[in-house]
């Protein structure tokens, strides 16, 4: 098996500068190279035409600049959403999504190959965690999608496979690089990171000054119900997680989002809506609500017995929250005809690939 080279896309500009200086190159070459990698989105050394042949050959012996290979790209007939199955250089596959909105194009990326959080409604976690992605592999999903669609990405959501805060060093490096003025320069305010709720990492993210939108996978108004849906809730109670979210809001001033996957017969009653409104009551400050609840009718997966609620029951849940002063919306479904649940398309692809062997 060929040795997998380190990717130049994993390196921040300062690190890239050090490598080129050690190779006897001038510092300005690092900015040129960084621009090829992160602004012009080059997928090969051959594209880097203003770099000398000798430098490109020297770098190619130790570093890769390859982008992930798209092996499946189904497109929704309903709304034009495209899902991408990418094969990484080590053979693992990951899933990303491109969504077109009036306000711009959004991409949902994965932060890990699989996931170890074990959420009962999520297909990504069924086979556990294979490995975490590097910052470059996270960036490369966006870059390859922008190359393939030929449309600029303006918003990024880190809500694909994996728990982003379980990959904290690479996540934060990714955040710095995607917002770097020498690269795509996507504002951190246009980036949303979803977490199951790792309190210490939430606080660290706030203390280090990141300005992203943070979304907590809440999914229940109390620990008892939450533990049936999310094993991580047995380790971190709401009494630990919610204060960490408040700390994030206080340090950053960024309104937080609470994601609530609505599962029929599990967490969808009016009593649970009232309990949720009480739980989030202290987010109502100065006559306005400093949080937002995103209600997500669950996408059933074959391996679980959950049922999708009727639209009218989700709407009743939303209205009850709003009457109690909590901002709430029902998430617009995108690409529901092309394996809508997180990780479902990747799992289907792997199943078919195994069957063909």
What sign does the CA torsion over 110, 317, 212, 100 have?
positive
Looking at residue 70, what is its pLDDT? Answer: 98
Which two three-digit tokens encode residue 130? 């294979």
Same domain, 302 and 186: yes
CA 316 – CA 247 distance, rounded (Å): 31
pLDDT tens figures, 122-164: 888 888 999 999 999 999 999 999 999 999 999 999 999 999 9
The answer to whether the CB of 179 falls within 8 A of the CB of 188 is yes
Same domain, 292 and 331: yes
Which H or E element spans position 274?
helix 270-279
Within 8 A by CB and 6+ apart from 313, the residues are 262, 264, 268
Examine the fold and report which residue of 16, 44, 64 is the final residue of a domain before the chain moves on: 64
Examine the fold and report which residue of 64, 85, 108 is the final residue of a domain before the chain moves on: 64
167 part of a folded domain: yes
Same domain, 76 and 33: no
Task: Say how many domains are in the chain.
Answer: 2
In this structure, what CATH number is given to the domain that contains residue 295? Answer: 3.20.20.70
Is there a catalytic annotation at residue 322? no
Same domain, 21 and 133: no
Which two three-digit tokens encode residue 204? 């660290």
Which phi and psi (to 5°) does residue 132 adopt? Answer: -85, 155
For residue 63, the SS3 value is strand
Looking at residue 4, what is its pLDDT? Answer: 85
In this structure, what CATH number is given to the domain that contains residue 58? Answer: 1.10.150.530
CB atoms inside a 10 Å sphere around CB 263? 24
CA 131 – CA 137 distance, rounded (Å): 12
Same domain, 97 and 124: yes
What global pTM score does this model have? 0.94
C-alpha closest to that of 75 among 94, 97, 95: 97
Same domain, 340 and 288: yes
Same domain, 204 and 293: yes
The answer to whether the CB of 201 falls within 8 A of the CB of 163 is no
Q: How confident is the model at residue 351 (pLDDT cuts 50, 70, 90)?
A: low
229 part of a folded domain: yes
CA 61 – CA 5 distance, rounded (Å): 8
pLDDT tens figures, 41-65: 999 999 999 999 999 999 999 999 9
Residue with tokens 């000798």: 54
Same domain, 42 and 137: no
What is the mean pLDDT of the segment spanning 235-252? 97
Examine the fold and report which residue of 19, 41, 64 is the final residue of a domain before the chain moves on: 64
Looking at residue 329, what is its pLDDT? Answer: 98
Least confident of 129-133, 256-260, 300-304: 300-304
172 part of a folded domain: yes
314 part of a folded domain: yes
CA 100 – CA 152 distance, rounded (Å): 11
Same domain, 38 and 177: no
What is the mean pLDDT of the segment spanning 178-190? 97
Same domain, 15 and 147: no
Q: How confident is the model at residue 354 (pLDDT cuts 50, 70, 90)?
A: low
Same domain, 46 and 148: no
CA 278 – CA 326 distance, rounded (Å): 9
CB atoms inside a 10 Å sphere around CB 47? 13
For residue 125, the SS3 value is helix
CA 181 – CA 11 distance, rounded (Å): 15
C-alpha closest to that of 205 among 177, 167, 161: 167
Looking at residue 1, what is its pLDDT? Answer: 46
283 part of a folded domain: yes
pLDDT tens figures, 303-330: 667 788 999 999 999 999 999 999 999 9
270 part of a folded domain: yes
1 part of a folded domain: no
Give 218 or 357, the one with higher predicted confidence.
Answer: 218
Which two three-digit tokens encode residue 254? 């960024």
List Cα–Cα distances, 39 to 139, 177, 229, 235, in angstroms: 11, 11, 41, 41
* DSSP annotation of 291: E
pLDDT, averaged across the chain: 93
Is there a catalytic annotation at residue 342? yes
Same domain, 11 and 148: no
189 part of a folded domain: yes
CB atoms inside a 10 Å sphere around CB 354? 8
Domain extent at residue 317: 69-356
170, 201, 342, 353: the catalytic one is 342
Looking at residue 353, what is its pLDDT? Answer: 66
Residue 84 bridge partners (DSSP)? 96
22, 47, 95, 275: the catalytic one is 95
Which two three-digit tokens encode residue 131? 């490995």
């Amino acid at each position: 098996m060929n040795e997998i080279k380190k990717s130049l896309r994993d390196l921040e500009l300062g690190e890239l500068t050090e490598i080129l200086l050690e190779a006897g190159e001038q510092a300005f070459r690092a900015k040129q190279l960084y621009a090829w990698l992160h602004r012009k989105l080059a997928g090969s050394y051959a594209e880097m035409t203003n770099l000398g042949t000798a430098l490109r050959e020297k770098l190619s012996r130790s570093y890769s600049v390859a982008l992930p290979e798209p092996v499946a790209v189904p497109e929704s007939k309903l709304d034009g959403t495209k899902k991408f199955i990418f094969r990484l250089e080590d053979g693992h596959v990951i899933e990303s999504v491109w969504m077109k909105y009036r306000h711009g194009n959004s991409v949902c990326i994965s932060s890990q190959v699989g996931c170890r959080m074990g959420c009962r409604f999520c297909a990504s976690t069924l086979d556990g965690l294979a490995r975490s992605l590097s910052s470059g592999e996270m960036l490369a999903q966006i870059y390859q999608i922008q190359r393939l669609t030929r449309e600029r990405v303006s918003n990024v959501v880190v809500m694909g496979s994996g728990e982003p805060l379980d990959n904290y060093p690479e996540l934060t490096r990714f955040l710095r690089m995607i917002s770097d003025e020498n690269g795509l320069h996507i504002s951190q305010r246009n980036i949303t990171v979803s977490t199951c709720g790792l309190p210490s990492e939430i606080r660290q993210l706030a203390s280090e000054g990141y300005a992203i939108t943070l979304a907590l996978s809440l999914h229940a108004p109390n620990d008892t119900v939450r533990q049936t849906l999310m094993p991580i809730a047995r380790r971190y109670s709401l009494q630990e997680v919610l204060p960490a979210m408040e700390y994030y809001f206080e340090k950053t001033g960024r309104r937080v989002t609470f994601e609530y996957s609505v599962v029929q017969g599990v967490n969808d009653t009016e009593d649970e809506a009232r309990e949720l409104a009480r739980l989030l009551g202290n987010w109502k400050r100065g006559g306005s609500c400093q949080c937002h609840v995103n209600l997500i009718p669950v996408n059933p997966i074959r391996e679980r017995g959950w049922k999708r609620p009727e639209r009218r029951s989700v709407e009743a849940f939303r209205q009850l929250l709003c009457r109690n002063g909590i901002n709430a919306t029902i998430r617009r479904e995108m690409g529901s005809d092309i394996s809508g649940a997180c990780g479902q398309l990747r799992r289907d692809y792997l199943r078919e690939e195994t069957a063909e062997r």
